[in-house]
Amino acid sequence: MSLLLAGRLTRGGAVVDGWLEVEGERIAATGAGAPPRPPGERHDGIVAPGFLDLQVNGAGGHEVTDGPAALDAIDAIQLEHGVTSYLATVISLDPATVERSLADIAERAADPASPVVGAHLEGPFLSEAHPGMHPPDRLCAPADGVPPYFASEAVRLVTLAPELPGALELIVSLRARGVAVALGHSGASAADVRRALDAGARLVTHLFNAMAPLHHRAPGLAGVALADGRALVGVIADGLHVDPLVLELVRRAAGSRVVLVSDSSPAAAAPPGTYSMGGVGIESDRSGIVVTKEGRRAGTALTLDAAVRNWAAMTEASLAEAIAAAGETPAMALGMPAGLRPGNFADLVLLDGAGRVVRVMRRGRWMS
């Protein structure tokens, strides 16, 4: 496919009138101002890099661990909502289920037709004091032994609690393999967190949720995440997990370090009702809250395009800044090529002026 597309292009949190040319699967050229010849297509809204969601547990009633048919359904939902790349997030489960799921995810990540780019292991190395919806009896410390499935090539991101015995050594080992490390589900002290950043961790998983609260004499993980420029800050912008006022405080402190994530559960893009995640029953209601039967938050009913619109509506961030937080910044977290630049895959999302998805291109091919 060859296409010259003109419109308002986003790059680094700004918008400029410009154009880009697609040749085959990749962006061949870009420029500001008038295109070099009449464009094959002109979009009146915003032309943005496809979104990248680092935390997708499921959607449409399906969980990422439910096998190939479930991944087919989740892939289609993600693409519909402008997500051209995502990490299938595997929570704390029995080793056999994780191994089977990682094999499915690895096959999907090798398929150029799928938006899956790898796996995010959220567990089992999480704090028993801050488990979220993870059953505490499934949690352990790296010093107790690292399961063989951590060596899977599908693993691109691992969330762990840095205060656990053996955590720092595991961070060093993962980073040596090119696996990104996020800190979360943690009661770590500020000193623990700084040591983890020194060891190579560079992301914080769903700030304020499943972690010790920010205290003026014990800043902990949340405090360091806001203050330390090395940390990219994962945020669930649904207005339910973090109050909109606090979202604005996060924006002012972290700015371009914010990474929007959906943390979507099987309840995302599905009617309110009862679902299952990691063998745990969860319920969603019309307000968008998703909880276990004990009332613990269990992911979200959020899609990443809605998070983009929420970030722009609930904070003083511009829509272009919100788009960057859902595309370029998470790509940098994984060390992936980011943005509308020559040589990158032609993964695009066309948005209207309100940030609603109009059309999606993945690897040079329109999805609809």
Whether the per-residue pLDDT at 39 is higher than 90: the answer is yes
Residues 213 and 253 in one domain: yes
Whether the per-residue pLDDT at 73 is higher than 80: the answer is yes
Residues 6 and 140 in one domain: no
Return the ∠ at Cα 313 (arms to 312 and 319), rounded to 5°.
25
Under 8 Å between Cβ of 195 and 188: no
Under 8 Å between Cβ of 298 and 277: yes
Task: Return the closest-CA partner of residue 246 out of 192, 209, 204, 205.
Answer: 209
**Domain containing residue 247:** 50-334
Separation between Cα atoms, residue 209 and residue 86, nearest integer Å? 21
Q: Exactly one of 75, 104, 263, 347 is catalytic; which is it?
A: 263
Is there a catalytic annotation at residue 263? yes
Check which CATH number belongs to the domain holding 29 and give it: 2.30.40.10
Q: Over range 315-326, report the average pLDDT.
A: 98
Name the average pLDDT for the chain. Answer: 97
Residues 25 and 154 in one domain: no
Domain count for the chain, please give it.
2
Residues 212 and 297 in one domain: yes
Q: What is the pLDDT of residues 172-197, one digit of tens each?
A: 999 999 999 999 999 999 999 999 99
Task: Return the closest-CA partner of residue 183 out of 168, 156, 262, 173.
Answer: 168
Give the pLDDT score at 1.
72
Check which CATH number belongs to the domain holding 325 and give it: 3.20.20.140
Residues 225 and 106 in one domain: yes
Cβ-proximal residues to 82 (8 Å cutoff; 6+ apart), any chain: 50, 51, 304, 305, 349, 351, 357, 360
Q: What is the pLDDT of residues 266-282, one digit of tens each?
A: 999 999 999 999 999 99
Residues 174 and 33 in one domain: no
Q: What is the pLDDT of residues 213-268, one digit of tens each?
A: 999 999 999 999 999 999 999 999 999 999 999 999 999 999 999 999 999 999 99
Give the pLDDT score at 157.
98
Separation between Cα atoms, residue 141 and residue 117, nearest integer Å? 27
- pTM (predicted TM-score): 0.97
Under 8 Å between Cβ of 107 and 140: no
